[in-house]
Amino acid sequence: MRYTAAEHDAFAHDFNRDSLVILRDHIPRAKLARWAEAFTPLLQSQIAREKDSPSRGAQRFYVTLPFDDLFGDPEIYEDRDLLSILQRIAGPEPVLCQLASDTPLKGSDYQPWHADTPALFPEWGTNDTPSFQLAVNFALCDVNDDNGPFETTFGTHRMNKQDAMDRLARGELPIHRLKMRMGDVMIRDVRAVHRGTPNTTGQPRPMVVLGYSRRWYVRPEVQIRVPQSQWDKLSPIGRSLLRHNPVVSDAQALVTEETYRNFAY
């Protein structure tokens, strides 16, 4: 672990205020360079599948990653700092239910401002509950002003969504344009209002997303297909994190055509 319990507390405190925290320089860049290399053919296949109707907007692709020896890496998804902060934010025994990526290419545009999930109890007219659905994001390249930095607002994860949108439209909410180095890890509450921005370079900007949720929260729109041979190798922590995902034969695990289209909350 890089951080002390007091530092985990401080991260959780900042997260609850802002909707996100970034652990700088947390994953070795050499490891992510290997991910980037293996990602290229997966992206190409997804582009070929979706070319007439990209799932996340013009020239923006959602690619599910296989839970194999490279991408199913416990040094990343079981990282002790990450889990310590997640448990402070979203309670004990979280689940991991999504292993995927978002990639804008040249020709991509600003997405509409959005949240990735509706309020837990919409009839309350407020989002003011503790966090229940989190995204852990890290890029497979350095993210600068030109290649599609993630833009977000602070504190809107617990606001009424319409109020947040109205305040944003009136220019009352500062917009944070997040430049992240490859190796930085962001933990964010997906209720915060955010958007993808255009990538104007010729290089893709892959951003990995690991989806974690509270122990009782199920997201039917995503899943991780865990090959039996990987399940057999999982640690007790890995088995707990992945307990709600299907365990499939190694041959079946290769078949994945998940797309993910909802983003207009």
Contact residues: ligand AKG, CB under 6 A: 56, 102, 111, 116, 148, 150, 194, 196, 207, 263
In the DSSP assignment, the letter for residue 55 is: B
Task: Name which of 61 and 71 has its Cβ closer to ligand AKG.
Answer: 61
Task: Name which of 81 and 116 has its Cβ closer to ligand AKG.
Answer: 116
Task: Name which of 76 and 135 has its Cβ closer to ligand AKG.
Answer: 135
CA–CA dist 30, 127 (Å, integer): 39
Sign of CA dihedral 89, 20, 95, 86: negative
Q: By beta-carbon distance, which residue lies closest to ligand AKG?
A: 196
Residues in the chain: 265
* Residue 229: CB minimum distance to ligand AKG, A: 31
Task: Name which of 27 and 83 has its Cβ closer to ligand AKG.
Answer: 27
* Residue 5: CB minimum distance to ligand AKG, A: 31
Task: Name which of 11 and 150 has its Cβ closer to ligand AKG.
Answer: 150
In the DSSP assignment, the letter for residue 184 is: B
Each residue of 219-257: b (16+ CB within 10 Å) or e? Answer: eeebbbbbbeebbeebeeebebbbeebebbeeeebeebe
CA–CA dist 9, 5 (Å, integer): 6
* Residue 190: CB minimum distance to ligand AKG, A: 9
The token pair that represents 114 in the structure block: 């959005």
* Residue 213: CB minimum distance to ligand AKG, A: 17
* Residue 56: CB minimum distance to ligand AKG, A: 4
